[in-house]
Structure 1
Amino acid sequence: MKECGFMFKVIVVDDELIIRSSISSFINDCGAGFTVAGSFRDGSDAIKYLEENDVDLVISDIKMVTVSGIDLAQYIYENKPWIHVILLSGYTEFEYAKAAIKYNVKEYITKPTNFDDLKNTLIRMGTLITEQHSNDISVFLESIMQLYAAVIAKNISLAESQLKLLLDNNTRKNEQLGQYAFNIFEIIIDKLYANLNIRITSDIADYTVLRETVDYDKTYELSALILECIVNHLLTKDKKTDNIVVDKLIQFINENFSRNISLQDAAETVFFNPAYCSRFFKEQTGEKFSDYLLKVRMQHAARLLKENKKINDISKECGYHSSGYFTRVFKDYYNCTPSEYIHNS
């Protein structure tokens, strides 16, 4: 399944070289519309790759030496939720694989791999990805989020270009452009109040006039003026809006780190798309979202260790599904195991 002539990217993760190689070769040759961007023998290697690269799909074995397929699925769920995951599972591991449902894993392939099943699964995934890419509602919301982000950043030139793009791409043929523009501003103004407690009143920007506007040129002209009024109003605020957004993101992490939260969950609280939210958080705090979440979890884990809590209980309180994975993450962070940390303390 191809979209507009390009191939979807996939990585293959399995600790057995012969399985990695055979699956990778089959994917490249089977004509399902995917190309293998890389293959890795452990989830830890895959995570390092995904920190710097994007793909559409990850195919991973469940049981591996250091970081399992479920651990990898958790990383993707928390940091790159737009990537789809297929897990390879032996019959005896199938109950274990069901645990990955909470990390949005929707496809499983039993081992040894039946290549007909693999091809059919790839075709289904390709169709799903294509539908997501072409979904008008998703595209509209994504564009609205980009406009909202530009408004929050008080970048008038970027906001104007995003607004023009939205107006140019109006696909609602049964709706006048003026009404369409009105709906856009209604969403932006509603989110400014809901997320930042900033109220845009009619004396600041009377966007209701757009409802009756039918002339295209007039709609573009009025929309640009209203947008400028909104951005200028934000510029008059004493507290920077970006600080308010960062505070809200940090509050979300501090209040929810014990759950299976993801970057997308955090982004939704401030009406950003995940990719922009990730960049914004790094620009404002100097830390990646995933690094900050990890820091909060590890600091909480250290406090609980000093209270002599059990490792199983600590891992759950810190948002990890298994104590083994928690221990590996803790050791990577503090350069010692939890028991060594207690002893050193």
Structure 2
Amino acid sequence: MYNVLLVDDERIILNGISSFVDWAGVGTVLAGTARNGLEGIEFIRRERPDIVISDIRMPGMDGLGLVREAVGLDSRIRFIMLSGFSQFDYARQAMQYGVKHYLIKPCNEELIGQALREIVAELEEERRRERFVERIQNGLERVLPHAKEQFLQELVTNKRYGQSDWEQFRSWCPIPYEGGATQLLVLQVEGQWEHEHLFALSNIAEELLDQAVLLGTTLGERALLLIQWTDGLDELSALLERIRATFRSFYRLEATMSLSGEGEAWEARGMYREALGRLRHRTDRGEGAIVMPGYSLGGARRPSRIVRQVLEIVQRHIADPELSLQAVAGEMLYMNADYLGKLFRKETGHKFSDYVTQVRMEQAKRIIAASDDIRIFELAEQLGYGDNPQYFSKVFKKYTGQTPSHFKQ
């Protein structure tokens, strides 16, 4: 049943309509009456009726003012306006507020009943649509987590998945991503463990990384998180250590995490291969570690703040042809280049120039794996080789053993 408010300043009309309309027969209940627009608005504020039947001309606040105020309170209210013949044009002003039903006084039971039936039918249809949308939303809420997991699995394992697939998926699945660099975090549990332990590790990581997580899934014996981290590497490495410590405190098991370098979200396959490669070649197997681009954090090892700054600078400026140890030391960190070079090599095991080449080549592998039509000169520009694609190809072949075109195949 839908609640109706009747508003008219003429008591005879108010009592007459109240008594002769078969309210229940048309699916309604007369919830209240009012003698003018002001009384009507007070009732609407308190009771929120579904339907208002109102005269046009009334003292204090007329019917048009009532409609205007009521729509401001609740835009879903339906109206039936009662008008003398001479005020019918005046009533049309209410059309801008969605009023569809106008009855000329004196009006009989049949006319009011027909208008009410039409409005009730509209309200029933609206309720059906709302219930349908609610069912769809509830269904999506149930399937979306699985769909997101499945999509990330395809993104990291299917070489045909690329930018167009990512954009299409985002068009119907809400992902808090507005473009920019992402990274893939690969997690695994050390020692003897059950599937529940991997699930718990992934949950802890998702909870602590919070809004940085775009997608998550499991693949075999590992969990994967596609993240977009906007703070520095220093903060991220500290948070990853916190994830390890939290997991260890609950389950007395060690966890290892490998973080890829940065790339576009649709380059997840290349990022996965990079992070997995580092994970497989680390030396501290079984102990648990945090393996980040360029270095590994074991139980007690952690690069100095200066080296972490260098690693972050390399990630940010990888497309700059002028990126060099001298530029980083002298123009960004204001320190001696020889000292910085020795410190960097001591803590990472790499010469600075070799590390920059490694980052560029790993990014090149990711981009080539994710793109069907990338041109060599475009890749060279993106990765700091300027207008020298020939030199880029030479370095790529030396690093991978293949030319860029053969690597794609």
Global fold match (TM > 0.5): no
Mark the structure with the bigger radius of gyration.
Answer: 2
Q: Hey, which of these two has a bigger chunk of helix by percent?
A: 1
Q: Hey, which of these two has a bigger chunk of strand by percent?
A: 2
TM-score, structure 2 length as denominator?
0.37
TM-score, structure 1 length as denominator?
0.43
Greater RCO, CA 8 A, separation 6+: 1
